Amino acid sequence: MHDPARRRHALDLIDSGLSDAQVASRMALPRTTVRDWRRAVDPPPRERCPRCWRPIRALGQDSADYAQLLGLYLGDGCISVVGRVHSLRISLDASYPAIVQDAHDLLVRCFPDNAVNRVRADRDATVILCVYSVHLPCLLPQHGPGKKHLRSMALEPWQWDHVVAAPWMFLRGCLWSDGCSFINRTGPYEYLSFDFYNYSGDILDLFMAACDLVGLHPRRYARRARLYRRDDVARLVENVGTKQRIEPLG
């Protein structure tokens, strides 16, 4: 046991700006002892789940990233139980490599301590991004048994707060997973349009509500919402971007 006065003196030296090694050398102490004294006074903060508040590995989500992640999940995401953890899989069209890379980078930012894997499916036509975490049902509580259009997809208040804070990013997640941009041709006229397609009425309602937040005017159908007004399209191009397809060679 070390004398309390000796420990206080070591902490005073740390407060003065000296490193653990410098304090250890000056006081003839093991460096690990100095390190343990410092950590006992100022332990590193522990990351906690924003829903259940249990300590977890680091999460790096702000409103913009969470809103886009939510849109991707609602569009083409799936959460499954794998052993004692859950896996989030997001299926994306392989002919849109820029969108695949953007979604990959998003998952890396949202789960900085978890590996993000890529798997090819459907004869290389689909890229599935996958990340494992025990807390995925906390982050995306819409997870449940059965297909999305057969269960409630209503958001919790804290999720809606993220969408309100970053509605364009939510729309980006929706359109880049279950949406498209295309040239609509009517007689001699050609004009860019956006389309979001989903079987779930709840998810379509959320898409419409996010459009309302930014002043867009989509036309609602049974299983889709379409935007083709010139001003709406211009704002979507500016804030969301268009999907750039790369066709397979020969």
Domains in the chain: how many in total? Answer: 2
pLDDT of residue 60: 66
Answer for the pair 54, 95: CB distance below 8 angstroms, yes or no: no
Q: Is 215 helix (H, G, I), strand (E, B) or coil?
A: coil
Residue 223 lies in a domain: yes
DSSP E strands: which ranges in the chain? 77-82, 85-93, 116-121, 126-133, 179-186, 189-197, 219-220, 224-227
> Can you spell out the DSSP letters for 137-175?
HHH-TT--SS-GGGS--PPPHHHHHHHHH-HHHHHHHHH
Residue 250 lies in a domain: no
Residue 55 lies in a domain: no
Tell me: do 22 and 132 sit in the same domain.
no
Tell me: do 37 and 67 sit in the same domain.
no
Residue 229: closest CA among 217, 239, 211: 217
Residue 18 lies in a domain: yes
| Longest pairwise C-alpha distance within the chain | 90
Q: Is 248 helix (H, G, I), strand (E, B) or coil?
A: coil
Is 70 exceeded by the pLDDT of residue 126? yes
Tell me: do 26 and 81 sit in the same domain.
no
Average pLDDT, the chain: 86
**187 vs 42, higher pLDDT:** 187
In residues, how long is the chain? 250
Is 70 exceeded by the pLDDT of residue 8? yes
Tell me: do 26 and 93 sit in the same domain.
no
Mean of pLDDT values over 120-125: 90
CATH code of the domain containing 233: 3.10.28.10
Mean of pLDDT values over 134-154: 88
Tell me: do 95 and 14 sit in the same domain.
no
Mean of pLDDT values over 141-167: 91
pLDDT of residue 144: 84
Mean of pLDDT values over 184-192: 85
Tell me: do 72 and 35 sit in the same domain.
no
How many other CB atoms are found less than 10 A from the CB of residue 16? Answer: 9
Q: Which domain holds residue 11?
A: 4-41
Kindly report, residue by residue over 19-54, the tens digit of the pLDDT: 888 888 888 888 888 888 777 755 555 566 656 666
Residue 99 lies in a domain: yes
Tell me: do 17 and 67 sit in the same domain.
no
Residue 113 lies in a domain: yes
